[in-house]
Amino acid sequence: MLKGYSDNEFYEETMVLFNQMKSRDVRPNCFTFPFVIKSCKMLLALGEGKKVHCFVIKSGFEMNRFISIAMIDMYSTVGAVKLAHQVFDGMPERNIVAWTAIISGYILSADIKNARRLFEITPDRDVIIWNIMISGYISNGDMVTARKLFNEMPNRDLMAFNTILIGYFNNENFEEGEKFFDEMTEKNVFSWNGLIGGYARKGRFSEVLGAFKRMLKESSDIPPNDATLVSVLTACSRLGALALGKWVHVYAVDNGYKQNIYVGNGLIDMYSKCGNIENAIEVFNCMNSKDLITWNSIIGGLAMHGRGNDALIIFDQMRNANKKPDGITFVGVLCACTHMGLTEKGFSYFNLMTEDYSIVPEIEHFGCMADLLARAGFLNEAVDYIRKMPIQADAVIWSALLGACRTYRNIQLAEIALEKLIELEPKNPANYIMLSNIYKDMGRWEDVARLKVAMKETGVRKPTGCSLIEVNDGVTEFYSLDEKHPQREEIYRVLNGLVELLKSPSYDSGIDELEEGYVY
């Protein structure tokens, strides 16, 4: 029964059952404890773990190797390496697993020196312990020592190679990583995911797509798995590569990933970010099991698309399904309120978050509230709110206010916001441009000119505006005011046509459908 609970990640239930066992004076044997200790570890319950430790000693199992190793692992995970080491020292005979556990413990608490010291005196080191030591250096950012150790390693397996590969990418050494990858004679799906995921984590999304296409072409014997697809979907989201995203969707369905929660979540996010909320909803509805990220993705996606009502309906469904929202869920919910101008409702959701769910609001939540007020036109209240919040407002919040100042043509507050923004990010030209646009809207051309001078004095040029569009089989970049583009004539002809179309009286922008609180 304990194994059943523990194997299925029902750790609280494991503990409850174990305590029932104790209160009924049923004596545990040596097989009982590992499940219980693992549950303490997974629940990060140090206090409970200590109690179990005492019970182990009382029951006479102190010398059991399996139990000691479970305990070392538990203490290490909850951040009590000292206790872990005590257990290790108390072991009459330590095998390689015990050495591995204590070394992992030191690495986990970023004590690489002690980890290495123990590694050096470990008898009969195997590939696993070598790999753990190497990844320990990598997680400490010491790629040089990691590589040195790798070179000294006697029997390198493919995982060792993959560890080094991922290490180069995590430490942003792309050249070495690529070189290392190309020199690997044997590869598996983890190798490819190391490359693709490495690019994805570092925001190199064009490279993600390139590597993915290379994988399909060069390694047809190694099919992508769920992790591959998720990395590719992330890149599609960021690049707006809807066509490739749809291809991944079809691929996922054809290859048995239809009900994979990671892939499903990736698809929801991809469709939302690529502007296709209907497909995002369809994926959401087809998913048999949903986790927190599934709910958060669809709620955030709907809010982002201005479908605040639907976002709030889904949020209700989530609560009815007894799923516990977290801080990110509420970012979506508050954002939904903001985009519908539901000021009061936004505040009641904020209270729901802090009171009913005991979620400590973070800066993004305060930002949502300030934005909620500002977009609804309550500019003074927004400034007041910002000044009174328990966290110092950041540039994101002040620039949201500055944006609202433009909407409501409030110069006084705009100037205050810019002052704050100059303090917070003196080198961001976007802030000057925002205020300059407000002056421009109001025809205050001397002020526009004055700002232009002030901006020049900062010595920072605004990077050229850039947009991406998927063309045929790739993603093409467009730069604002680009005179050098080979298809310049054609592009500007279409662009001007679109501008005329937007201006024409027959064009229905759909603005009527927006709720109050918006001024265009």
97 binds DNA per the rule CB under 7 A: yes
Exactly one of 17, 40, 67, 115 binds DNA (CB under 7 A); which one? Answer: 67
**Residues of this chain, 14-33, that bind DNA according to CB under 7 A:** 29-31, 33
95 binds DNA per the rule CB under 7 A: yes
For residues 94 and 420, which CB has a smaller minimum distance to DNA in the complex? 94
The phi and psi torsions of 221 (rounded to 5 degrees) equal -80, -10
- Closest approach, Cβ 342 to DNA, in A, equals 22
Q: How many Å apart are CA 354 and CA 351, to the nearest integer?
A: 5
- Closest approach, Cβ 127 to DNA, in A, equals 5
- Closest approach, Cβ 224 to DNA, in A, equals 9
**Residues of this chain, 262-321, that bind DNA according to CB under 7 A:** 262, 265-266, 269, 291-293, 296-297, 300
- Closest approach, Cβ 129 to DNA, in A, equals 4
| Residue 428, phi-psi category: left (phi > 0), alpha (psi -120 to 50), beta (remainder) | beta
Question: Is 479:466 a contact under the CB 8 Å cutoff?
Answer: yes
Q: How many Å apart are CA 159 and CA 164, to the nearest integer?
A: 9
135 binds DNA per the rule CB under 7 A: yes
- Among 92-100, 312-320, 440-448, 510-518, the segment contacting DNA (CB under 7 A): 92-100
Exactly one of 50, 51, 201, 323 binds DNA (CB under 7 A); which one? Answer: 201
Place of tokens 């590694």: 119
- Closest approach, Cβ 168 to DNA, in A, equals 13
Q: How many Å apart are CA 55 and CA 57, to the nearest integer?
A: 5
- Closest approach, Cβ 77 to DNA, in A, equals 10
77 binds DNA per the rule CB under 7 A: no
For residues 212 and 385, which CB has a smaller minimum distance to DNA in the complex? 212
Q: Which of 279, 345, 355 is nearest to 312 (CA)?
A: 345
Exactly one of 105, 136, 177, 194 binds DNA (CB under 7 A); which one? Answer: 194
Burial 468-504 (b: 16+ CB within 10 A, else e): eebeeeebeeeeeeeeeeeeeeeeeeeeeeeeeeeee
Type of residue numbered 387:
R
- Closest approach, Cβ 154 to DNA, in A, equals 12
For residue 26, the tally of other CB atoms under 10 A from its CB is 10
- Closest approach, Cβ 241 to DNA, in A, equals 14
List, as own/partner pairs, every contact residues 264-268 make where C-beta atoms lie below 8 angstroms and the sequence separation is at least 24, other chains included: 264/294, 265/230, 265/291, 265/293, 265/294, 265/297, 266/229, 266/230, 266/233, 266/234, 267/233, 268/294, 268/297, 268/298, 268/301
128 binds DNA per the rule CB under 7 A: yes
Place of tokens 């005991």: 358
For residues 124 and 483, which CB has a smaller minimum distance to DNA in the complex? 124
127 binds DNA per the rule CB under 7 A: yes
359 binds DNA per the rule CB under 7 A: no
Exactly one of 42, 253, 261, 454 binds DNA (CB under 7 A); which one? Answer: 261
227 binds DNA per the rule CB under 7 A: yes
Burial 116-125 (b: 16+ CB within 10 A, else e): bebbeebeeb
| DSSP code for 177 | H
Q: Which two tokens stand for residue 12?
A: 């609280």
**Dihedral angle computed from the Cα positions of residues 252, 253, 255 and 261, in that order, rounded to the nearest 10 degrees:** 60
- Among 52-60, 213-221, 229-237, 494-502, the segment contacting DNA (CB under 7 A): 229-237
Alpha-carbon torsion (407, 412, 415, 417), positive or negative: negative
- Closest approach, Cβ 159 to DNA, in A, equals 4
Exactly one of 46, 159, 363, 424 binds DNA (CB under 7 A); which one? Answer: 159
Exactly one of 17, 52, 69, 280 binds DNA (CB under 7 A); which one? Answer: 69
- Closest approach, Cβ 89 to DNA, in A, equals 17
User: Which residues of the chain form contacts with DNA (CB under 7 A)?
Assistant: 3, 29-31, 33-35, 64-67, 69-70, 73, 95-98, 100-101, 104, 126-129, 131-132, 135, 157-160, 162-163, 166, 188-191, 193-194, 197, 200-201, 225-228, 230-231, 234, 237, 261-262, 265-266, 269, 291-293, 296-297, 300, 326, 328-329
